[in-house]
A and B are shown apart, each in its own frame.
Chain A
């Protein structure tokens, strides 16, 4: 009772504080709003959109914001983290050595890996040298928070998020589990320090000079 009284008192103290006279008329505000809507309408009808994502880099005076998706698309900024990809080697196999660094770094625990071993008799030099590879590499993109820590953690440049493709819609949860085959995409990549460029297999290479008995002045 007393509470409601005090409430009504506070209203009666200053009833005009919320809106002034023109606002309470309502019509001027309506006209003002219609003017804004009309301005946007005319701008969208006649002007063109500046594609530069950075506002400061826009050359035109266009303030048009609407994108006619999907005919028009906003270009992704550089460094945009898109769908994950497993970087292939020259022979099409993933560069990944299943070290679990990405799975360890992942804060949402969305990467699942099972490791396997290439046979010592594998026909592929790179496979013989790096020994280990992922038999299962799965990214649960529903759980992924697209933070890119997995890419940072990868010591082999085997995982990237440079596809500029965002996660596509799917009809069931299971389809959001991206398996190795789906992730393995893009240009093959080589680096000068890739171990298979320095040896032919995990066996001991022949050391010609090893245990050779030579005297000073003699040819080995």
Chain B
């Protein structure tokens, strides 16, 4: 353009018409936005954030405050990336995509920013990883090693805050470790809708806290522990119990109510240490309630571990023989109590046994009594598989009767499947005293202890099984560890009883039970039993024999880091 110098006189040329206003080129993919992230082309809907677009092509952008289920805050500045349409770095969680945009996530500018942010976050962080429960699943640790890995340049004391502040029944806070990402504040406000947390103070003295005189007593406060990217919010129940890297995770389902929240059961050896919510958009999103979170204990506490007869331990064969002869004698007049807390496979086997072997056409429904419900997840029905029991009974032609109509004296014997009862222990003991009773129960409650025969039952963490939640959705629980003591799943006891009573029931696994009986149940017919909720482990570990001579168990026998489930 500079060539056309006005020095040489030239005949007046007509003024060229003004150039048409610059219009952006038409989008490459109409209706969508096309951009490139680290030289990879991404096609996303308009309005998508850069962090989501990058995730689609496998580019991981580090972030603290961003959470897909919470509102945007863009305060941690960890996700800053270079975008072609902005002069400065932009936060990838907040910036939306633009047509033809070129995004770079690993330029020296971005790396310098990430390092600066980490140095800033670690400025007042106490780095007390040895006593921090979050160590091993802490994003500050992970990102420091990945994006910073420089020694601290701070010379001088750090700001000291409260390291052991009890915020409520579930959560304990270490304010020094907090990086002020405000995930917890936003969760309480937006998801739990109980804004009990706030940010107080200014500058380096800023901290997350409850309002003066208030307590963090929401039923969803346990989620803050998972949400917290560092070890600032800790679960009081799990505190100091185990290190995260020793735990393995089995995909499972919470059995505390009929919602059926998806969880990871974190376990070591034959003990479960905690439940963590597992992502399922259809059921629980990323959350679970504190009641369910504490229900991991039910699988371990007060367990019945030995076959008992009148409260005295007997061998497994002896107990089975007694149970079989007791049921044989009362043939034709047996009351069956089935618990809607048992799994689908157990109930299938049990109801088939009741109909074909015990010749019973009605079953009384026991189960845990109703409890409190709330608006978010917790249901009033505390039994995880009531829907499954209904489906199975309907398909097998068995009539379900409410527990109130159950009168033990009308029967010559009672067979109880599952020890969960709506009545208290004392009432149950008094009611079942008059009739010979065979109980299959997970817990050694007083009434079950005194019965003619008690067959110990494995928990849902110790067996492969499935549950049907209140909307009729079938979900799988994977086996975490082998059953404790003599305990076995219901279907195994049922099979052995049936074989003693002369019937042929031949199942080798829970999958066998399901694939034999499920085709008769229309709701279960299309369920992919093997494929749902795959465990990252090929098989659960075996108990360590060296522990039997009184020596302590070894840590890594069950838990190897590669077997751990991905965090939500």
Q: Enumerate chain A interface residues (CB-CB to B < 8 A).
A: 97-101, 103-104, 109, 112, 115-117, 120, 130-132, 138, 140, 143, 155-156, 173-174, 177, 195, 198-199, 202-205, 207, 210-211
B160 touches A210 (CB 8 A): no
Which B residues from 543 to 567 make CB contacts under 8 A with A?
Answer: 549-557
A173, B546: Cα distance in complex, Å:
11
Known pairs A173-B551, A198-B157; A131 contacts B164 (CB<8 A): yes
Contact with A along B152-177 (1 / 0, CB 8 A): 00000100111110000000000100
CB distance from B59 to the nearest CB of A (A): 32
Closest residue of chain A to B175 (Cβ to Cβ) is A204
Which B residues from 127 to 165 make CB contacts under 8 A with A?
Answer: 128-131, 135, 157, 160-164
Cβ-defined partner of A203 (8 Å) among B162, B205, B243: B162
Known pairs A155-B130, A202-B163; A207 contacts B205 (CB<8 A): yes
Which B residues from 235 to 253 make CB contacts under 8 A with A?
Answer: 239-241, 243, 245-246
Measured between beta carbons, the chain A residues less than 8 angstroms from B161 are 204
A98, B240: Cα distance in complex, Å:
9
B554 touches A101 (CB 8 A): no
Which B residues from 186 to 207 make CB contacts under 8 A with A?
Answer: 201-202, 205
20 example contacts (A-B, Cβ-Cβ < 8 A) are as follows A98-B131, A98-B240, A99-B129, A99-B130, A103-B555, A104-B243, A104-B246, A104-B555, A112-B552, A115-B240, A115-B241, A116-B240, A131-B163, A138-B552, A173-B549, A198-B160, A202-B164, A203-B162, A204-B161, A211-B202
CB distance from A182 to the nearest CB of B (A): 15
A138, B243: Cα distance in complex, Å:
17
CB distance from A167 to the nearest CB of B (A): 15
Instruction: Please report whether the interface of chain B is mostly helix, strand, loop or mixed according to DSSP.
Output: loop
Measured between beta carbons, the chain A residues less than 8 angstroms from B162 are 202-204
Measured between beta carbons, the chain B residues less than 8 angstroms from A112 are 552-553, 555
Closest residue of chain A to B126 (Cβ to Cβ) is A195
A143, B555: Cα distance in complex, Å:
13
A117 touches B240 (CB 8 A): yes
Closest residue of chain B to A207 (Cβ to Cβ) is B205
A120, B164: Cα distance in complex, Å:
8
Which B residues from 269 to 299 make CB contacts under 8 A with A?
Answer: none
The 8 closest A-B pairs by CB, nearest first: A99-B130, A112-B552, A109-B554, A202-B163, A115-B240, A204-B162, A132-B131, A202-B164
CB distance from B390 to the nearest CB of A (A): 44
Measured between beta carbons, the chain B residues less than 8 angstroms from A130 are 131
Closest residue of chain A to B158 (Cβ to Cβ) is A198
Measured between beta carbons, the chain A residues less than 8 angstroms from B129 are 99, 155
B239 touches A177 (CB 8 A): no
A203, B553: Cα distance in complex, Å:
36
Closest residue of chain B to A106 (Cβ to Cβ) is B555
B131 touches A131 (CB 8 A): yes
A143, B551: Cα distance in complex, Å:
10
A98, B131: Cα distance in complex, Å:
7
A205, B162: Cα distance in complex, Å:
8
A109 touches B555 (CB 8 A): yes
Cβ-defined partner of B239 (8 Å) among A117, A156, A205: A117
Known pairs A131-B163, A140-B551, A205-B160; A100 contacts B243 (CB<8 A): yes
